[in-house]
Amino acid sequence: MILRYTIFIISFLGVLGIGSYSIYQVYSFTNILGPNGDLILLLLLIIMPIIFITTMIIGNKKDYLINNYLYTISCLWLPILLYLFLGSVIITILMVFIPVSNIAFYNFVINFIIFLSIFLTIYGLINAGIFNIKKVLIPKENPLNQIWHGKKIVLVADTHIGMIYKKNFLNKVVNFINKQNPDLILFAGDLIDGPKFTMEKTLEPLANLSAKLGIYYAPGNHESYSHDDKDLYTILAKYMTVLRDNKVNINNTDIVGLSYDAKETIMGLQNRLIKSNYNKENPTILIRHTSKDNEFLQKFGINLTVSGHTHGGQIWPFTIGAKAIFKKYIHGLNIQNNNASITTTGIGTWGPPVRIGTKPEIIVITFE
């Protein structure tokens, strides 16, 4: 754990250092910001990453309100920094074709990029708070249709309760889910973010969740970042069925939940399914946080696999990288061998509470 955080901090500061240097060099060359503006930009480029790293480290040890606020502010700086950096790349390319002596042109471009960076971040902050419903209809060829026709399943993932998203946010999520009047609720991991928070009190809204056939949950990667994950599972057991490499049978269907394992091979995944008492002859729904092996799972015989984790990339242009990694399993419904895979972009966020190019959602699953 310590080694992982050390590598993350060094890598993060290295990337931000290179990016910040590029931004400062490009945005200060026209003197559009003036001496005071250049100084403010330099201080922001130095101070904000330090605040981000410091508050993250403190947050993993103790839950402080002021620390959470500072962490949130530093997170909101990150998308601004991203777009300022992309802008610096564009300006550098323009310099090849347009003389640097054209100060008026570059002043206009820099002003526009600064405005756009702030505007997109504000838009992304608002967008991340507007929940959406994505409706998915499972085709009649799927073996689950005979059992689940006329019933409604809600899939939710990536609430990331922690330093930014607290009890009020979870209340909003719970009310949004309940309005769909689900027969079954499936939580596909990353219910918490990882850092310290008053877990028992903050998670109380989960008691208000309502589903006729129950609520079932399998952990994601962020649960493993918490030092209190054992307490988490004890608390969650009061509100839902926690599935960690095991299964239950509901409505003549096996509900299997697998914990997240980033290093797992296909063979390891297959063995873990077998150890969970998976029976290929039974109708099966699998909750697994990541969607990276969902094509294999469909071919293996899982009738419905539900996942989250991808966030759809959360913020453009990371949406492009996420699509390259997860391909068609980044979001939505995929059919293979009449078996279905569904990935949600999730309803919360990691890091910046911002979504640009993606939307927060729950998925409502019905059967043809």
Of residues 32 and 62, more confidence is placed in 62
Q: Decide: 219 and 289 in contact? Cβ < 8 Å.
A: yes
The region, left, alpha or beta by phi > 0 then psi within -120 to 50, assigned to residue 21 is alpha
The answer on 289 and 254 residing in a single domain is yes
Task: Encode pLDDT of 251-287 as tens digits.
Answer: 999 999 999 998 889 999 999 999 999 999 999 999 9
Domain end position, chosen among 127, 152, 177: 127
Strand partners, 216: 186, 241
Q: Residue 20's pLDDT band (boundaries 50, 70, 90)?
A: confident
Q: According to the model, what pLDDT value does residue 4 have?
A: 62
The stretch 231-260 carries a mean pLDDT of: 95
The answer on 188 and 298 residing in a single domain is yes
- Asked if the model's pLDDT at residue 319 lies above 60, the reply is yes
Q: CA-CA distance, 25 to 70, in Å (whole number)?
A: 27
Q: How many domains does the chain have?
A: 2
The stretch 32-45 carries a mean pLDDT of: 78
Q: Residue 46's pLDDT band (boundaries 50, 70, 90)?
A: confident
Q: According to the model, what pLDDT value does residue 8 have?
A: 67
The structure tokens listed for 185 are 């609720």
Q: CA-CA distance, 196 to 228, in Å (whole number)?
A: 8
Q: Residue 43's pLDDT band (boundaries 50, 70, 90)?
A: confident
Q: According to the model, what pLDDT value does residue 133 have?
A: 97
The answer on 111 and 147 residing in a single domain is no
Domain range enclosing 271: 132-367
> Looking at 13-17, 121-125, 271-275, which range is the least confident one?
13-17
The answer on 112 and 6 residing in a single domain is yes
The answer on 248 and 183 residing in a single domain is yes
- Asked if the model's pLDDT at residue 36 lies above 80, the reply is no
Q: CA-CA distance, 216 to 347, in Å (whole number)?
A: 17
The stretch 302-331 carries a mean pLDDT of: 96
Domain end position, chosen among 95, 127, 159: 127
The structure tokens listed for 33 are 């910001």
CATH assignment of the domain containing 313: 3.60.21.10
Enter the pTM of the model.
Answer: 0.90
The structure tokens listed for 115 are 């405005």
The answer on 123 and 150 residing in a single domain is no
Q: According to the model, what pLDDT value does residue 100 have?
A: 80
The answer on 271 and 218 residing in a single domain is yes
Of residues 290 and 107, more confidence is placed in 290
Count the alpha carbons within 13 Å of 325 in the hemisphere toward its beta carbon: 13
The answer on 143 and 123 residing in a single domain is no
Tell me: cis bond preceding 317? Omega within 30 of 0 counts: yes
The stretch 223-246 carries a mean pLDDT of: 90
Q: Residue 2's pLDDT band (boundaries 50, 70, 90)?
A: low
Q: CA-CA distance, 341 to 62, in Å (whole number)?
A: 38
- Asked if the model's pLDDT at residue 29 lies above 90, the reply is no
Q: CA-CA distance, 156 to 188, in Å (whole number)?
A: 6
The answer on 164 and 118 residing in a single domain is no
Q: CA-CA distance, 263 to 254, in Å (whole number)?
A: 26
The answer on 337 and 206 residing in a single domain is yes
Q: Decide: 218 and 258 in contact? Cβ < 8 Å.
A: yes
The answer on 187 and 62 residing in a single domain is no
User: For residue 321, which of 313, 330, 309 has the smallest C-alpha distance?
Assistant: 313
- Asked if the model's pLDDT at residue 224 lies above 90, the reply is no
Q: CA-CA distance, 187 to 216, in Å (whole number)?
A: 6
Q: CA-CA distance, 311 to 329, in Å (whole number)?
A: 11
User: For residue 114, which of 26, 53, 192 has the smallest C-alpha distance?
Assistant: 26
Q: CA-CA distance, 65 to 50, in Å (whole number)?
A: 18
Q: CA-CA distance, 293 to 60, in Å (whole number)?
A: 30
Task: Encode pLDDT of 129-171 as tens digits.
Answer: 999 999 999 999 999 999 999 999 999 999 999 999 999 999 9
Domain end position, chosen among 93, 127, 161: 127
Q: Decide: 58 and 22 in contact? Cβ < 8 Å.
A: no
The answer on 342 and 218 residing in a single domain is yes
The stretch 284-303 carries a mean pLDDT of: 95
CA distances to 114, 153, 174, 282 from 185, in Å:
43, 6, 11, 20
Q: According to the model, what pLDDT value does residue 70 have?
A: 96
Q: According to the model, what pLDDT value does residue 262 have?
A: 83
The stretch 4-32 carries a mean pLDDT of: 75
Q: Residue 191's pLDDT band (boundaries 50, 70, 90)?
A: very high
Three-class SS of residue 163? coil
Q: Residue 30's pLDDT band (boundaries 50, 70, 90)?
A: low
The stretch 227-243 carries a mean pLDDT of: 90
Q: Residue 293's pLDDT band (boundaries 50, 70, 90)?
A: very high
